[in-house]
Amino acid sequence: MTNHETRFRVRYAETDQMGVVYYANYFIWMELGRAEYFRAVGGRYKDMEDSDGILLAVVDAQCRYLFPARYDEEIAVRTTIVKANRRMVNFEYEIRDPVVDRALARGSTKHIFLNREMKPVKLLKKYFSLFGITGGPSID
Amino acid sequence: MTNHETRFRVRYAETDQMGVVYYANYFIWMELGRAEYFRAVGGRYKDMEDSDGILLAVVDAQCRYLFPARYDEEIAVRTTIVKANRRMVNFEYEIRDPVVDRALARGSTKHIFLNREMKPVKLLKKYFSLFGITGGPSID
Amino acid sequence: MTNHETRFRVRYAETDQMGVVYYANYFIWMELGRAEYFRAVGGRYKDMEDSDGILLAVVDAQCRYLFPARYDEEIAVRTTIVKANRRMVNFEYEIRDPVVDRALARGSTKHIFLNREMKPVKLLKKYFSLFGITGGPSID
Amino acid sequence: MTNHETRFRVRYAETDQMGVVYYANYFIWMELGRAEYFRAVGGRYKDMEDSDGILLAVVDAQCRYLFPARYDEEIAVRTTIVKANRRMVNFEYEIRDPVVDRALARGSTKHIFLNREMKPVKLLKKYFSLFGITGGPSID
C-alpha cells in the first residue's frame, strides 16, 4: 500500500511542564497524517463528511513513544494504510525527527465508517481509491 | 446580577514547558465557568443547543494574566453576567487560587445567539431566566 | 491491587465537529485518573516531580473506544495499577458513563521513571506505597 | 514595524461540536504567528529560552471573532509587533482565510520578559533586532 509523509513544527501549546510534547498530542499528529494522506491520494476527508455524511470513527488507537519531541522541532509523520475494506480501515504511523533522522514514536489507529446517526455504514465505491481498496467481488 | 463559582484542578495537559498553565487554556476554564453558571441557575447550555438549536457564539474574548497557575493546584472560576439581552450576553470571570485566596487572571467574553445556520437569532423567552434577562417591553 | 474512580464533566473544548469527544482527549482523562489515583492512596504525583525530580514518562498508550462521550455528560474514570516495580508502572483505565452505567472506553498506559535529564532511574523507596509496590528482595 | 504571515490548515482536533474552530484555539494560532515571526526576522524564540532563560510571558490576550474557521481550511496569520522595549512587547494578529481573502479574527497579546524564576528582566541587547527595538538612549 502507498504511504505519505507530512511535516510541521512542534507548537509551544503541545509541550508540558516536563519540557517535551504531552503524550496525547501524538494522536493529533496522527490525525494530521491521515488528512494529508487523503490529500496526497487525491481526495479530502472533509468531502466525505460534507458530501455523504460518512464519518471515520476511531475504535482503537495506540502509540509507542521512543524519544521525546521538543518545542519548535520539525516533525515528519509517515502514514500508511495497512488494511482497508468497506467497513473499516487501519492506519499506521511513524512520527520522525527528520533532522537527525530517527523515529520518535510509532502508532496505529483503527476506524469504522459511520453515518451521521453514528450507525456503521459501508463505504461508497467512489471513495475506494482514497483507501486503496481494489474492490473485487470479495470486498463486500 | 448573580454570580457562580466552580472549582477544579489544573491538568498536566494544560501546562507548557514554561512550567505553568498555557495561556489559551484560561479560555477553556471560562467555558467551564459558563457551563456551571447555567447549571447553578437551573438550566443547561446543552439543552439550548439540543432542543432549540441556539448556539452561544463567542464574538470577543479577553484575558489579563496576573499570576501563573500551576499543575495540580485547585482553581476557582467566578462567573458573572454583566450584560444580557435577546441578542447578546457578556460574561466576566475571575480565575482564583482559592488556597492562597488571590486572583490569577481576569477575563471577559461577549457572545451572540446563532441558529444552526450560523445566523443571528433572538433568544427564546423560556431561556431569559438563564441569563437574568428580566424581559420588559424595552428588551426586544 | 487497589483502584480509584474520579468524576468530571465533558468540556465543550473536548468535542469535535463529529459532535462527540475527540479521540485524543481520552488520554487526558487517563492522566486525570492517574493524578486522582495517587491522591486517593495518599500522595501526589506533583510532589514526586517537585521534591525528587522523578518524572513518570509514558512509553506506551492505548485506547479502545466503545461508545462516544458527549458534551456536558458526567464521566467516571476507574484507574488501576496492574503492574509496578522500581523501573516501570502499568495503569489500566475504564472510562464510564456513570448515569447509564456502561463503559465508553478502555485504555492502558505504560510508564518508566526518569530524572530531569530524561535518564531512567529507579523509584525511591518512599514512593513504593503510591504504586502498591511491596518491595521484597526481588524487586530491585 | 515589520510583519510576517504564516499558513497552516485547521486540524480536526481544533473544531468543536458547533462545527467550527473552538475559540481558545485562535490563541494557539497567535503563538504560531509569533514563532514564525521570529524565524522570519532571523531568530528563534526557542533560543532565547534555551540559551538565556528568557521567557516571553503573556500578561494580556484578546481576540475579536468575525467569521468562523472550519476544518481543513487554510489559515493565514499575519503577525505584527506594534510596540516593544526592553521590558515588554505587544503583538497584533490578523487571522485570515487566504482563499476568499477575508479576515476571520483579529487579536493582540502583550508580553513581558521573565527569567526562569518568573521575575521580570530586561531583554538582552542581542535580541533587540528580533523585536525591532532600535535601542537608542531612551530605551532603558
pLDDT over threshold 60, residue A47: yes
- Between CA A134 and CA A128 the distance in angstroms is 7
Instruction: Measure C138 CA to nearest chain B CA, in Å.
Output: 33
CA B83: distance to chain centroid?
A: 13
Task: State the pLDDT at residue C137.
Answer: 53
Contact in structure between C91 and C79 (CB atoms under 8 Å): yes
As for the ipTM of the complex, it is 0.94
Taking only the tens of pLDDT, chain C with its 140 residues reads 567 999 999 999 999 999 999 999 999 999 999 999 999 998 899 999 999 999 999 999 999 999 999 999 999 999 999 999 999 999 999 999 999 999 999 999 999 999 999 999 999 999 999 999 986 655 44
- Average pLDDT of every residue of chain C: 94
All cell numbers assigned to C89: 508502572
Residue-wise pLDDT tens digits, B117-133 = 999 999 999 999 999 99
Q: How does DSSP assign chain B, residue by residue?
A: --EEEEEEE--GGGB-TTSSB-TTHHHHHHHHHHHHHHHHTT--HHHHHHHH--EEEEEEEEEEE-S---TT-EEEEEEEEEEE-SSEEEEEEEEEETTTTEEEEEEEEEEEEE-TTS-B-PPPGGGHHHHT----TT--
Q: What is the mean pLDDT of residues D110-139?
A: 88
Region A105-128 average pLDDT = 96
Contacts of B11 (CB under 8 A, 6+ apart): B71, C28, C31, C32, C35
pLDDT digits (tens, 9 = 90+) for A54-70: 999 999 999 999 999 99
Mean pLDDT of D33-58: 94
Share of chain A above pLDDT 70, in %: 94
In the numeric block, the cell 463559582 is attached to: B5
CB A88 within 8 A of CB A56: no
Per-residue pLDDT tens digits for B77-91: 999 999 999 999 999
Assign 3-class secondary structure to A104-120.
Answer: EEEEEEEEEEECCCCCE
Residue D140's pLDDT band, with cuts at 50, 70 and 90, is very low
> Closest by alpha carbon to B62, among B84, B38, B82?
B82
Cβ-Cβ pairs closer than 8 A, A with D, add up to: 29
CB contact under 8 A, B17 and A12: yes
Does residue A134 have a pLDDT over 90? Answer: no
pLDDT at C1: 53
- List the chains bordering chain C where 3 or more Cβ pairs fall under 8 Å: A, B, D
**Contacts with A, D 51-80, CB within 8 Å:** 71-72
Residue A135 pLDDT:
66
pLDDT tens digits, one per residue of C11-42: 999 999 999 999 999 999 999 999 999 999 98
Q: Give pLDDT, residue C134.
A: 84
Report pLDDT for C80: 96
CA C135 to chain D, closest CA, distance in angstroms equals 38
Of B59, B64, B68, the CB nearest to D65: B59
The model's pTM is 0.96
Per-residue pLDDT, B137: 53
**pLDDT band at residue B140 under the 50/70/90 scheme:** very low
Strand partners, C55: C114
The answer to whether residue A1 scores a pLDDT higher than 60 is: no
C-alpha count within 13 angstroms, C-beta hemisphere, residue B111: 25
Picking from A13, A28, A46, the nearest residue to D71 by CB comes out as: A46
* Alpha carbons B61 and B91: distance in angstroms, whole number: 10
Q: Give residue D134's pLDDT.
A: 84
For residue A139 the three cell numbers come to 470486498
How many other CB atoms are there within 10 angstroms of residue D90's CB atom? 15
State the nearest Cα–Cα gap between C115 and chain A, in angstroms: 10
Closest chain C residue to B70 measured between Cα atoms? Answer: C46
State the CB neighbour count (10 A cutoff) for residue D88.
Answer: 18
- Give C127's DSSP letter: G
Query: Chain centroid to CA D125: how far?
Result: 21
